[in-house]
């Protein structure tokens, strides 16, 4: 019997298992996950779970009855033997496979000497959210959020909802600038300040100030002391690939794949071994042949369907299914009352312009271009106006795009968007 093994038991793993069943795979699926939890949704962690506004248990992702997965939770994969087609776990157990899905995602980045310091947190998983929530319940004097990217900005906004003082620090000149460019970043900076965040850009933290082993402040590179008895580090993520270092797979800030998500060794593409979601680095059409790693919720869905199809093809399992070709990434974030929705890959852009609306009035769409092609669009409080740009991105539209209006746009298919977001918008 054909055996599929999935390593990593989160969103990417679940979406791939679902797609395997949808595409007619009836044999054995085993999912190994280092965390003790069944798959759960991470986006609510930084929005409502860490503040106590929603329950930790509410993040559990629904499990379909027809999945019939052999779950191995709280078990960590430590090596991959491609010749013997075995994955070894930390407890010495070896799991054989015919087809392998690598879905080990990423972990929060933190300077080594800061990890474990009393008062210093990261937010990647349910257990991190539980700890942060408990720390916030103790009413810290002032929280410092380090890194004003998507996660750092969301964390700062969520903590302000508790009326706790927040300092948000970033080395860049504006929050989110690298991800969404100046127009949206300016808007976000204004929102943070309007909600009482002490936003300090072009600020680098040099060291932690500790008293009796606990955090009391942060020393910046210019000598400034920032008061804080709680810090949340939002320095981005590191893909979980160390356990694959001796496997022969090609790695490089993720697991390098072809356009079908098939992994490779030095000898070329490796049939029957695919990677998905946050850990996969693949050539996206919008990146003009370059490989990208996309850390978005909706990407796990796209990858699940594509990887399942590739795997079944490689294993010689018959399937009539062809995966959806909707490979335009999308991402959303909630900051205060502002909803930001992005399509495409705005971070790749070398040019951007406001396409509609007015940021002074609190809504609008910005378009992003590179090498004469549209590569992304971001809507502030105006998700419906994004629908035509999504279609233009899928069609490989030129930059700048033809003017278009939200009113004329057909409704976007939301099948890729998470339940809570889609519900809020309808
Ligand atoms: C706080 C937060 C908020 C977010 N908000 C948004 C949002 O608003 N919008 C959006 O689009 N995206 C958001 N995301 C991103 C989204 O959640 C991720 O893209 C998604 O979780 C990726 O899923 P994944 O399965 O690739 O990896 P992960 O969710 O990282 O899961 C990987 C799993 O693999 C396990 N693992 C790792 N190594 C091993 C090993 N060796 N053996 C066994 N198991 C292993 C890990 O423990 C983990 O459980 C957010 C993420 C976070 C953390």
Please give the share of the chain, as a percent, with pLDDT higher than 70.
Answer: 93
Helix (H), strand (E) at residue 368:
strand 363-370
Q: How far apart are CA 56 and CA 180, in angstroms?
A: 30
Helical H segments across 90-195, by residue range = 126-137, 150-160, 177-194
Residue 97 clears pLDDT 90, i.e. is over it = yes
Residue that wins the pLDDT comparison between 422 and 333: 333
Question: Residue 300: CB within 6 Å of ligand 1?
Answer: yes
Ligand 1, atom nearest to 15 Cα: 25
Query: Mean pLDDT, to the nearest integer, of 76-99?
Result: 98
Q: How far apart are CA 290 and CA 68, in angstroms?
A: 37
Residue 410 clears pLDDT 50, i.e. is over it = no
**In CATH, what class is 110-235?**
alpha beta
Question: Residue 33: CB within 6 Å of ligand 1?
Answer: yes
What is the average pLDDT score of the chain?
92
User: For residue 322, what pLDDT band results from cuts at 50, 70 and 90?
Assistant: confident
User: For residue 358, what pLDDT band results from cuts at 50, 70 and 90?
Assistant: confident
User: For residue 159, what pLDDT band results from cuts at 50, 70 and 90?
Assistant: very high
Residue 74 clears pLDDT 60, i.e. is over it = yes
User: For residue 195, what pLDDT band results from cuts at 50, 70 and 90?
Assistant: very high
Q: Which of 15, 17, 132, 278 to mutate to test the pocket of ligand 1 (most atoms within 8 A of CB)?
A: 278
Instruction: Give, using CA atoms, the residue closest to atom 28 of ligand 1.
Output: 105
Is the Cβ–Cβ distance between 342 and 303 less than 8 Å? no
Residue 316 clears pLDDT 50, i.e. is over it = yes
**pLDDT tens across 226-257, in order?**
999 999 999 999 999 999 999 999 999 999 99
Residue 89 clears pLDDT 90, i.e. is over it = yes
- Which residue intervals of the chain bear CATH 3.50.50.60? 3-107+238-315, 110-235
**pLDDT tens across 25-37, in order?**
999 999 999 999 9
Is the Cβ–Cβ distance between 276 and 102 less than 8 Å? yes
Question: Residue 340: CB within 6 Å of ligand 1?
Answer: no
Instruction: Give, using CA atoms, the residue closest to atom 52 of ligand 1.
Output: 42
Q: Show the tokens assigned to 410.
A: 């057909």
Interhelix angle for 177-194 vs 150-160, to 10°? 10
Query: Mean pLDDT, to the nearest integer, of 276-302?
Result: 93
CATH superfamily of 330-425: FAD/NAD-linked reductase, C-terminal dimerisation domain (3.30.390.30)
Q: Which of 108-122, 132-146, 316-330 has the lowest mean pLDDT?
A: 316-330
* pLDDT the model gives residue 319: 83
- Which residue intervals of the chain bear CATH 3.30.390.30? 330-425
* pLDDT the model gives residue 15: 97
Q: Which of 19, 43, 93, 133 to mutate to test the pocket of ligand 1 (most atoms within 8 A of CB)?
A: 43
CATH superfamily of 3-107+238-315: FAD/NAD(P)-binding domain (3.50.50.60)
């Amino acid at each position: 019997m054909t055996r599929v093994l999935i390593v990593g038991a989160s969103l990417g793993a679940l979406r791939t298992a679902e797609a395997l069943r949808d595409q007619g795979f009836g044999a054995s699926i085993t999912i190994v996950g280092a965390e003790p939890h069944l798959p759960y949704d991470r986006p609510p962690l930084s929005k409502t779970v860490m503040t106590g506004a929603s329950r930790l248990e509410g993040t559990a992702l629904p499990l379909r009855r027809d999945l019939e997965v052999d779950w191995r939770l709280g078990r960590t994969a430590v090596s991959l033997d491609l010749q013997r087609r075995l994955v070894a776990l930390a407890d010495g157990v070896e799991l054989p496979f015919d087809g392998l899905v690598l879905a080990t995602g990423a972990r929060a980045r933190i300077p080594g000497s800061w990890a474990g310091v009393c008062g210093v947190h990261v937010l990647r998983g349910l257990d991190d959210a539980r700890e942060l929530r408990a720390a916030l319940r103790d009413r810290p004097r002032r929280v410092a959020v380090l890194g004003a990217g998507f996660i750092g900005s969301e964390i700062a906004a969520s903590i302000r909802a508790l009326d706790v003082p927040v300092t948000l620090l970033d080395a860049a000149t504006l929050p989110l600038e690298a991800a969404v460019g100046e127009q949206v970043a300016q808007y976000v900076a204004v929102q943070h300040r309007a909600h009482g965040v002490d936003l300090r850009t072009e600020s680098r933290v040099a060291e932690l100030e500790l008293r009796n082993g606990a955090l009391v402040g942060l020393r910046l590179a210019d000598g400034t002391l920032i008061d804080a008895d709680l810090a949340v580090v939002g320095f981005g993520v590191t893909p979980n690939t160390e356990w694959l270092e001796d496997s022969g797979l090609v790695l490089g800030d993720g697991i390098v794949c072809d356009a079908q998500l098939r992994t490779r060794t030095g000898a070329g593409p490796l049939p029957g071994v695919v990677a998905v979601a946050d850990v996969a680095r693949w050539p996206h059409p919008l990146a003009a042949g370059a490989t990208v790693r996309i850390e978005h919720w909706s990407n796990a869905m796209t990858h699940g369907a594509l990887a399942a199809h590739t795997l079944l093809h490689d294993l010689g399992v018959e399937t009539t299914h062809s995966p959806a070709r909707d490979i335009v990434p999308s991402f959303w974030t909630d900051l205060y009352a502002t909803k930001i929705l992005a399509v495409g890959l705005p971070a790749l852009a070398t040019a951007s312009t406001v396409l509609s609306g007015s940021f002074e009035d609190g809504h609008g769409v910005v378009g992003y271009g590179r090498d004469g092609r549209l590569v992304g669009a971001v809507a502030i409080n105006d998700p419906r106006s994004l629908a035509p740009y999504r279609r233009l991105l899928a069609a490989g539209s030129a930059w700048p795009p033809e003017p278009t209006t939200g009113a004329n746009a057909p409704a976007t298919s939301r099948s890729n968007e998470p339940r809570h977001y889609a519900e809020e918008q309808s």
